[in-house]
Structure formats: structure tokens, C-alpha cells
Amino acid sequence: MTQKLGSENEAPKPRPRRVETKKLEPEVEMENSVEVVTPAPHLGLTRDETNWAALAHASILLTLLLGVLTGGIAVFLGPIVPALIWYAYRDKSEYVTEQARQATIFQVAGLLALLALAVVGAILVAVGWAVSAVLVIVLVGLILLVVMAIVTLLWGAAIIALPIAQVVYGCYAALEAYNGRPFRYWWVADVIDRYQAQA
């Protein structure tokens, strides 16, 4: 049995809420804290310059889109965008010129690497399958069939992974350029520096 407190007709009244704010103590003392410093933006750049530099790097998305939509036929049109930006800003902004030059060379080098991987890989895989098919007669080819299946899968994975890695790296470069930080592609910037030192 339950007992009611108070009269039967009286409804229970809700308690009023109290709003209190308390000052929280810092968890870490300032003496022990570590200051994280982000690289300072390149001084003296306008927003227009950082936008065009970022667009030069981000144009790799257009290259990927052209490659996917045309089955790779129009993929060589993609590097034209950073090349045009490079040409248009060659006398206006050293920052945009350098970023667009690197983006152009990175995209062209990536396309050539993908083309070489596709052609050389296709030849090697075709020859490997032909040899293992002939050797199946002698039963040695059965082992080669397994090896060739693995090699073919790895080759296919590399053909898919290379453009994705290029797009991710290009988008990272676009973000850095947009924030005004001079971005240098690994290997591409070194090749450009060596070429300019010789000239």
C-alpha cells in the first residue's frame, strides 16, 4: 500500500531550478603547458593569391574527374588548369607562380607514373599469365597461377591507389596554399630546384 502525502486534490509542485555557474580550475598549470605553434602564413600575400595557388593544387580533382568520366582518355587535360594559372601569374605573383608550377609538374609526373604502371604492368601480367598457362601442362604452372593471381591483384590495387594518393596529396597542398603556407611537393620541388640551379 502506498500512502499519499498531503491532500488528495493537491498536485505535486515541481522544484524551482537554480542556475549556478562555477569557475573551473585549470587542469594543467601554465608552467607545464606546451604551446603548439602552427606555421605562420606567408607574409604579404593577398587572399586572391592564396585562392589561385590553392586552385592550382585543387585542380587535381578535375584531373581525377576527367579520368573517371572518360575512362582515362581526357585525363591529360587536367594539368592544363595549373599550367594556365602558372602562365597567367608568371609576372604578377612569385608565390602563385611557384605553387602552380609545382602543381603542374606534380600532375604531369603522376599521370606519367600511372601510365607507365598501367602499360608495363599490363605487359608483365599478360606475359606472366601466358607463361603460367603454358606451364600448367607440366603442373609447375599451378603454383604460378596462384602467384600470378596475387601479382594481378596487387597491380590492380596499385592502379587504383596511385590516383587516390595523388588527389589526397594535392588537396593537402591546396589547403596549405590557401592558408598562405608555401607548399613543396616531395621530389617535385627538389627536381625544380635542381633544374633552376643549372639554368
The identity of residue 104, as a single letter, is T
**Within-domain flag for 80:** yes
The confidence score (pLDDT) of residue 39 equals: 46
Q: Is residue 15 part of a domain?
A: no
Residue 140 lies in a domain: yes
User: What pLDDT score does 174 carry?
Assistant: 94
- Report the residue count for the chain: 199
In a domain, 16, yes or no: no
Max CA separation in the chain (angstroms): 100
pLDDT at 37: 45
DSSP code, position 89: T
What is the per-residue pLDDT for 16? Answer: 59
Please indicate, yes or no, if residue 131 is contained in any of the structural domains. yes
Structural domain includes residue 18: no
Nearest one of 115, 114, 92, 87 to 103, comparing CA atoms: 87
* Structural domain harbouring 65: 45-191
For residue 177, tell me if it sits in a domain: yes
What is the signed CA dihedral for 75, 168, 87, 46, rounded to 10 degrees? 150
Tell me phi and psi for residue 42, to 5 degrees: -65, 120
Q: What is the pLDDT of residue 197?
A: 79
Chain center to CA of 76: 19
Copy the grid coordinates of residue 60: 587535381
Q: What is the per-residue pLDDT for 169?
A: 94
> Which residues, 6+ apart, have CB-to-CB distance to 163 below 8 Å?
64, 67, 110, 114
Residue type, 162: L
pLDDT by 10s per residue, the chain, length 199: 555 555 555 666 666 555 555 555 555 455 555 554 444 555 678 888 999 999 999 999 998 888 888 887 888 888 999 999 999 999 998 999 999 999 999 999 999 999 999 999 999 999 988 888 888 877 776 778 888 899 999 999 999 999 999 999 999 999 999 998 888 888 877 777 777 778 7
CA 13 to chain centre: 60
What's the Cα-to-Cα distance from 60 to each of 33, 164, 171, rounded to whole Å?
Answer: 40, 10, 8
Number of domains, the chain: 1
The model scores a pTM over 0.85: no
CB 193 within 8 A of CB 110: no
In this structure, is residue 110 part of a structural domain? yes
Question: What pLDDT is recorded for position 5?
Answer: 56
